Amino acid sequence: MQADLRSLKPVEVTTEIFDDAHRLVVHEKKSLQPVQTEGVLTLSSIVPLENVRLWSPDYPNLYTLEVSVTQDGLLLDQYQQKLGIRYFHFDARNGFYLNGQRTEIKGVCLHSDFGVLGTAYQYSAMVRQLKLLKQMGCNAIRTAHNPPAPGMLDLCDSMGFLVMDEAFDMWQKKKTKYDYSKDFALWHKRDLEDQIKRDRRHPSVFLWSIGNEIREQFDTSGIRLTNELVAIVKALDSTRPVTAAMTETHAAKNNIAKAGALDILGFNYKIDQYDSLALNFPGKALIASETVSALQTRGMYKDGVINETVAKMKDSIIYMPYGPKQKFAPNINGDWTLSAYDKIAAYWGTNHENAWRAVKSRPFIAGTFVWTGIDYLGEPVPFPYPARSSYYGIIDQAGLPKDIYYFYQSEWTDKPVLHLLPHWNWQQGQLIDVWCYYNQADQVELFLNGRSLGTRKKGDGNKHPGDNEFHVNWQVPFEKGTLKVVAYKNGKEVRRELVKTAGIPSNIQVIVDSSTFRGY
C-alpha cells in the first residue's frame, strides 16, 4: 500500500480470481480496516474459492488473482498474482503424496546455464530445456545449488514441475578459495529470507533445501547452523518442508540430521546404503537428493566395437579414476570424449540403470534427482583442459538427448518407446554391441538386412548376458545396410525403428524448432 497514506480510514478491497481460460470465478468487494505495524499498513481477508482445480505436474492448473485497493474513490494499490492450489505430504514408509495420490518424484538436478548462450537467464532457452525434460517424463527439478531465476519458477508453475528450491552449496566451511563461505556470516540470513519471500508464492516449490553436501555435517557447528537456517525458513513459510542434501549416512556422525530440525532427509549417492537409512533414521521421510553422476558423450560408441578388453567389462560399470589420489583420468579416446553407453560413472556415483533401480524398488525413498538433467559449463569430470563442460547430462549442451534419455522415457512415461543404438557405420566384420530401450511391448526382434538376429526380452539376462529389466542387447558383426528392431505386443508388431549405414553427406539442413524467441 502507498507509504504516504496517513489516514487509517477503511479501504475498499476488490478481489477477483480468474481461471486458466480467464473466466471470472470469484468477485468479492469488502470494506477493510488497515492495520499499521512498524510503519507498514497491512490488510487481511479470506476469499472462498469453490470447485478448485488442483495443481500438479500432470495438470498444472493456475488461477490469476487480481486485487485493487481504493479509498474515497482513489486507487491506492493494485496487485496481480498467479495461483496454484495443491496439497501434499511425505510418508516415512511410502514416499510422497500429492493431492492425495502417491507420486514418485522423477527429478533431475539442473545448473543455471544454457551452454553457448551463457549463464544469463533466457526465456526461450529455458522453455526448450523444460520441454525436453517434460517429454522425458521428468516431473521435478532441484536447483543445484543456488536459488533459481524467477522466470524459471514461473515456467515450472505453468509447465508442471515440482521444485526443490536450494539455497547454499556451503556455509561457513569453504569448498573452494573464493566461495560463498567468505560471505556467509554477513549475508546468509538476508539472502535466505529474500529467497523465501520471493519464491514462496510459486506452487511448483514444494521443498526448501538449506544446503548441498555441507561440511558442517562433520562437526557440532552443523547442529547450531541447521537450527538457525530452518528457523529462518519456518518464520517466513511454515507450509513447506525443509531438507538438505547430505552425504553422511550414519546418524551419529551427521550433525545436520542430528539437529532434528529437518522435515525431510536428503542423501546424495550411497545407493548401497539405502536400506540402512531407514534403520539409521527411523521415522524420517527420505529422498535421493542427488544420484548417478554417470559420464557420457552423445553419439560416441568407440567401445561398441567388442574386443577382448571391452568384452570382459562391457556389462560392468567403468569407474573413472578421478579423485584425491588421481586428479584427472587419461584421455582414453584421444578426443576428450566418453562412451554413450550407460557404462561409465565417476567414482562416487553409478550408472543410470543402477541408480534408478535402487530408488524404484524402495517405496520409502520418495524419489530421485539425477545428476544432471543437462550438461553444463564447468566441472569437466574426469578430464582437465581443454575439456570445459560436464559429461553428466541426460541431454547435451546443444539440447540434444543422449541415448540414456530414452531409458528414462521408457521408465518415466506412458509414451511408447523404442530406441536402438549405436549408429550403423563401422568396418566390415567388426563385432558391435547393439542396445535397445523399449516399453509397452513383450519382446523385440533385431534384423540386419532382413535377416532375423533373434528376439530379446527385458529381464532375460540368464539367457542373454547383458540384458536386464531396462534394456536388451545383441553382439552383431557389422555389414553395410539396415539394422531394424521390431517390438511385439501379444504377438503383433506395434512399432519399429531403423538405423542405416550413412553415405557421403550431400547437404546440410537446419531446422528451427521455434518460430519466436524471447531472451528475458
Which residue numbers are catalytic? Answer: 213, 290
Helix (H, G, I), strand (E, B) or coil at 405: helix
Beta bridge partners of 476: 432
d(Cα 225, Cα 189) in Å, to the nearest integer? 11
| Strand, helix or coil for residue 194 | helix
Q: Which three cell numbers stand for residue 261?
A: 530440525
Q: How many CB atoms lie within 10 A of CB 515?
A: 5
481/425 Cα distance (integer angstroms): 9
377-396 burial: b if 16+ Cβ within 10 Å, else e: beebbbbeeebebbbbbbbb
Q: Are 413 and 405 in contact (CB under 8 A)?
A: no
Cell reading at 112: 543455471
Rounded CA gap, 160 and 20, in Å?
14
- Strands 264-268 and 101-102: what pairing? unpaired
User: Which amino acid does the sequence have at 18?
Assistant: F
Please enumerate in sequence order all residues whose Cβ is within 8 A of that of 420, keeping only pairs 6 or more positions apart, or say none. 434, 435, 436, 483, 485, 497, 499
Non-local CB neighbours of 239 within 8 Å, separated by 6+ positions: 200
CB atoms inside a 10 Å sphere around CB 16? 17
Cα–Cα–Cα angle for 231, 150, 50, rounded to 5 degrees: 80
